[in-house]
Amino acid sequence: MAELALSQELDERLLHLLGALETLQGKRDEFNSRVEQGWFSLSKSRFAMGCKSVSALQYGAHMEPLVRVCASQGEGGQVAFQVIPEWNPSTEAAEGSPSVEEIGPQDQVLRQRKGPGKTAAPGPPLGPAPKSDSQRGALSQDPLTWFGILVSQSLRQAQNSFKEGILLAGEIASLQSDIEVTQAQYRALLERKRQLLAREG
Amino acid sequence: MAGRGKLIAVLGDEDTVTGFLLGGVGELNKHRKPNFLVVEKDTSLTEIEETFRSFLAREDIGIILINQFIAELIRHVLDGHTRSLPAVLEIPSKEHPYDAARDSILRRARGMFTAEDLR
C-alpha cells in the first residue's frame, strides 16, 4: 500500500514536471521572439538615428530602476517571481492625468495686439494640469531620454519589446524554480521508494 | 530599496544590455555599483566572473539575465549556483541563438530519468 501511494505521488510529480517543462519551453520561445524583435528595432533605430546615437555611450549617468521583482516563497520551497513595472499605464489612467502635457492658458483669451488698454485683461491664468509625482518622475527617468529628445519610432518599439520580455523573464524564473523544486521532490520520493523496496525485498 | 522589491541584473553584449536598460532595469548612482555589465571583445574573463559572483552575492538582485555565450565562459560558476535566489536566466544573443541543451537548469532535468527509475 505504501509503495502504491509512493508510486502515485511519483507519477503526479513527474506529470507536474513535464507540464512545467512544456510551459517553460513555450514561455522561452515567446521571450526569445520578443528579444529578437527588440534587437531588430534597435538596428532600425541605429539606421534612422545614426550608429553612434544608440550605444552604451548614451547611457545615463544616473539610473533609477523602473522595474522591480518581488520574490515570494511557496509552501514547497519554490519561489514565485512577480515583475512590478512602474511604467504601468493603468496607474496613469486611474490618476486621471493627461498623457499629453498642455501648456498655455486653459481658456480662450483675446490676444492683446495694441496694449493692455484696448482689450479686457485676461483673468488670472490657470496653472497647468497637475501631474502626479510618480508621473513626473517616470517621464524624467524614461531611458528613451538618454538618446535625445526626438527618438525614432523604432527605438520606442524596441523599448516595448524589451518591456514585454522583462515581464516574461519573471514568469520563466518562476517556472525554473518550480522545475527545480519538483525535481528535488521527485528524487526524494524515488529514494524513499528504493529504500522501501530494499526493505521488502 | 529592498522593501520595494529586488532588481534585475543583466550581463550581456551591448545590444542586449541596451535593450533591457531601455526596459527600465538599470540602476546606477554614485553610491551603488551598477546592476549590469556590457561584455565586449576586450572584457576579461576575470571581470565577467567577478561581476557575476558579485550579482549572486547581492541580496537586492532577484533575477540575473545573462547571454548564453557568456554563461558558457563561466559555466562552472553557474553550475555551482543551486540557490533559488537570484534566479539565473540564460538568454540568446544576436550572434548566438539560445540552445536548450546548454542551459544549466534544463541539463539538470535531462538525464534524471533512467528505465530503472520508471519501473
Residues A140-146: what's their mean pLDDT? 84
A90 vs chain B: nearest CA distance in angstroms? 17
| Residue A14 or residue A136, greater confidence | A14
Is the CA virtual torsion B6, A165, A144, A51 positive or negative?
A: positive
- Look up the pTM and report it: 0.80
Interface check A67 vs B, CB under 8 A: yes
Q: What is the pLDDT of residue B31?
A: 77
Percent helix, strand and coil across chain A, each to the nearest 5: 60, 5, 30
Structural domain boundaries in chain B: 7-110
Residues A10-28: what's their mean pLDDT? 93
- Which residues between 21 and 60 in chain A have a beta carbon less than 8 angstroms from any beta carbon of chain B? 21, 25, 28, 31-32, 35-36, 38-39, 42, 54-56, 59-60
Interface check B85 vs A, CB under 8 A: yes
Is the CA virtual torsion A181, A176, B66, A140 positive or negative?
A: negative
- Which residues between 119 and 178 in chain A have a beta carbon less than 8 angstroms from any beta carbon of chain B? 141, 143-144, 155, 158-159, 161-163, 165-166, 169-170, 172-173, 176-177
pLDDT tens per residue across span A81-140: 999 988 665 444 444 444 444 455 555 555 555 555 544 555 554 544 444 555 555 556
Nine cell digits for residue A184: 528535488
Q: Do A155 and A144 contact (CB within 8 A), yes or no?
A: yes
Q: What is the pLDDT of residue A98?
A: 43
Stretches in chain B below the pLDDT threshold 50: 1-2
Interface check B4 vs A, CB under 8 A: yes
Residue owning grid cell 536598460: B21
Q: Which of A49-58, A60-69, A131-140, B41-50 has the lowest mean pLDDT?
A: A131-140
| CA–CA separation, A126 and A128 (whole Å) | 7
Q: What is the pLDDT of residue A91?
A: 45
On the question of pLDDT at A161 being above 90, the answer is yes
Return phi, psi of residue A93, to 5°.
-65, -40
Q: Which CATH number fits domain B7-110: 2.40.50.140, 3.40.50.620, 3.40.50.10580, 3.40.50.300?
A: 3.40.50.10580
ipTM here: 0.90
Q: Do A161 and A41 contact (CB within 8 A), yes or no?
A: yes
Q: Tell me the average pLDDT of chain A.
A: 80
How far from the centroid of its chain's Cα atoms is residue A76's Cα?
26
Residue owning grid cell 531620454: A145
A82 vs chain B: nearest CA distance in angstroms? 9
Q: What is the pLDDT of residue A61?
A: 87
Element (H, E) at B45: helix B45-57
Interface check A179 vs B, CB under 8 A: yes
B118 vs chain A: nearest CA distance in angstroms? 9
